[in-house]
Each structure stands twice: as structure tokens, then as C-alpha cells.
Amino acid sequence: MTRVVHYLNQFFTGVGGEDAASTSPARTDGAVGPGRKLQALLGDDFEVVATVSCGDDYAAGEPKAVDEILALVKDAKPDVVVIGPAFSSGRYGLACGRLAAAATQAGLAAVAAMHPDNPGLDEAAGAPVVRSGEAAREMGPSLETLAAAVRKLVAGEDLTDAEGRLGKPARRNRVADENAARRAVALVLARLGGDREATEVPLPNFDQVTPAAPVEDLSQVTVALVSEGALVPAANPDKLESARATRWAHYSVEGRDSLPSGEFISVHGGFSTVAANEDPQRIVPLDVARELETEGAIGRLHGEYLVTAGNGTSVGNAKRFGTEWVADLRKSGVRAAILTAT
């Protein structure tokens, strides 16, 4: 019997939603929530002996969280640690990636599942991660991929593209069928034939951002406030999405010294908005920015703030928002922007 310990966030273990996102790590016996489906897929040779759970804010924001989670996992004496799937959820993905790395480092067999765009993938630092769908509606097929990967891992086999392996796999020496010269020529011929992907050494795809030059004298320029915290007028007139945003909006702050509670709310679906709604300045710091404008520390505060919801946003849309924001701000003569991010 192979002992499985399953890691899930507070949502999937039924502890609660964003109101419970600061919950510290806890362990329960047996399979919980999606773990039951995982158990069914793994069959009688495996037993999900325990489920470890942690709130997303705690898991992603608390430095000691991964050690605490790993300690709970180890106490249940796993043969294999199964983590997620985290889909495209950023905080959950970070926790899953970190746990996969820490468990692997500690000598445990471990595999996590998340969407390829999840920022948690980098946190896994080479530990096994397989592909999941983008959102929980793809739980079924994602668990099937994960269960198949668990079986391979327990059998001592390497996970490959065929099992949905993401990220850079560990390098292992093996004897190639042909010598390096023949393989190199074959790759050149493939490229000349139009294949741009074939390679023996996949390179990481880093997006290069050239930092803008500093502003010499802020007291002479216009500064804008921008945010992905989904702060909008209470009626949400532009119907900004709470997740997977496809658009952004802009709202006037002309003549305002602050954004009053009740008049502005956050419609972000990725964290508890209680604190933001109590004081919208916690997302868009208009009060102190206006103060700094009045005192002359900045020349002028831009007449509106730009906003979207950064929650499972596709990389493509996020890039487009960035490009459109820069064009919009440039057109208005803005020289610098302060971006608040949740």
C-alpha cells in the first residue's frame, strides 16, 4: 500500500473562501474534497492517508509556512506527496511550487499540478510539476493527469512531456543513439525545414523589461496611480470582471482628496475585499498622493486612476493592458506611475 499525503488550499478542503485565506496549516486524516476523486483514480494500491491544508494568504505570504506545511506532511509518513492542482491561482500555486521543492529537497517523492502560466511553477525549482487546467471546472481531467504522474513517480520513472511535465526536468546522463555531429546536423536541417522549436537544450523564456529612466524632478511632472486591485465605483459601471479580466477601466479622481468607503469597492475575486472596502485607500492611495501633490513633492496627480483585476489574468491580456496603459498615460502627459498590486 502506497501512502499518499495530499496538499490542498483552504477552499478545496472546505475550510472557507477568502475569509479563511489567513488560516494556518492543518492536517486531517484521509482524503478530502478533490482528494476523494484522486483516491478513486489511484485505486486500491494507494491510500490517501492525510490531507494537509493551508489558507492562501498564509501559505504565500508567511515565510515559515512551507516549513510548517512540510512538517505536517512528514508526520503522516508519506510514500508520495501529491500537491494541488492549483490551476491558475497565484497564491495557491506559489504554495504548491514551494511545497514540491521543499518535499523533494527533503528526499520525499512529490508531484504538484498547476496551469503552465502559474507563477508558482518557478518556485518548484525543478521538482516535478505536471500540467493542470486553467480553473477548477477542469478538475476531472487535471486529477487524471496528476494521478497518472503519481503512478509513474512511485514506479521510479521520470515524468516527461507525455505525462504533462512542466518546467525544466532534471538532467540525467544517457547514451544517445547518434553522435553530437549527426544530431547537430539533423537539428540544422529541421530548422531549415521550418521547425523553429526543435532543440536539445530548451532555454527559459524570460521576458526582458528595460527599466525606465528615473524622473529627475518629480515636483515638475504628472504622476498617475494605477492598480490591479479592481477598485471601481460601487455600481461597477464598466462591469470589470473579478477574475480573468479582459478589460481595464479608468475613473476620475479630479477634485477628490480620498476615495470614500461605500462609494468605491473592490470587485477583485482573488482575495478578501473586506479591508479594501473599509478603506479604498488600501488599494489606491489617493489620500496621501493628494497630500504629496499639495505639498509640491509631485507636480500634479493625474486626473484619473487606471484599474483592472489581476486575478488569473492571461499573460496575453496583461501585456495588452500594460501597453494600452502606457499609451493612455503618455497621451495625457504622465511621466511616472505608481502601481499597487494585490
Partner 1 sequence: MLCNLTSIAIRVGAPRVVPTRGIPYPTGDPSLGPEQERAWRRTLVETALVALSTAVDKPTVFDGSDQSDQSDETNGA
One of 223, 224, 245, 259 touching partner 1 (CB under 8 A):
223
Residues 54-83 close enough to bind partner 1 by CB under 8 A: 57-58, 60-63, 65
- Cβ-contact 49, 31 below 8 angstroms: no
Angle at 122 between CA 110 and CA 35, to 5 degrees: 35
Q: Which of residues 238-257 bind partner 1 (CB under 8 A)?
A: none
Q: In angstroms, what is the minimal distance from the CB of 217 to partner 1?
A: 8
Binding piece for partner 1, criterion CB under 8 A, among 77-85, 154-162, 195-203, 216-224: 216-224
Rounded to an integer, what distance in angstroms lies between the CA atom of residue 120 and that of residue 280? 28
Site residues (CB under 8 A) for partner 1, limited to 257-316: 271-276, 278-279, 281-285, 287-289, 291-292, 297-298
> Around Cβ 78, how many Cβ atoms within 10 Å?
22
Cell match 506532511: residue? 73
Say which amino acid occupies 187. L
- Touching partner 1, residues 313-332 (CB under 8 A): none
Q: Using DSSP, how many helices (H) and how many strands (E) does the chain show?
A: 10, 13
- Cβ proximity to partner 1: between 5 and 231 the closer is 231
- With binding defined as CB under 8 A, does residue 138 bind partner 1? no
Q: Which of 45, 200, 206, 296 binds partner 1 (CB under 8 A)?
A: 206
CB of 2 to partner 1, least distance (A): 34
Interaction of residue 342 with partner 1, rule CB under 8 A: yes
- What grid cell was written down for 315? 499573460
Report d(CA 99, CA 2) in Å as an integer.
20
With a CB cutoff of 8 Å and minimum separation 6, the contacts of 165 are 128, 129, 130, 131, 149, 159
C-alpha angle with apex 107: 106 to 112, nearest 5 degrees?
A: 85
Instruction: Please identify which residue in 1, 162, 235, 341 interacts with partner 1, judged by CB under 8 A.
Output: 341
Q: Which three cell numbers stand for residue 156?
A: 521510479
Taking the complex as a whole, how short is the minimal distance between the CB of residue 181 and partner 1, in angstroms? Answer: 37
* Chain residues in the site for partner 1 (CB under 8 A): 18, 21-22, 57-58, 60-63, 65, 90-91, 94, 119, 122, 206-209, 211-216, 218, 223, 227, 229, 271-276, 278-279, 281-285, 287-289, 291-292, 297-298, 336, 338-342
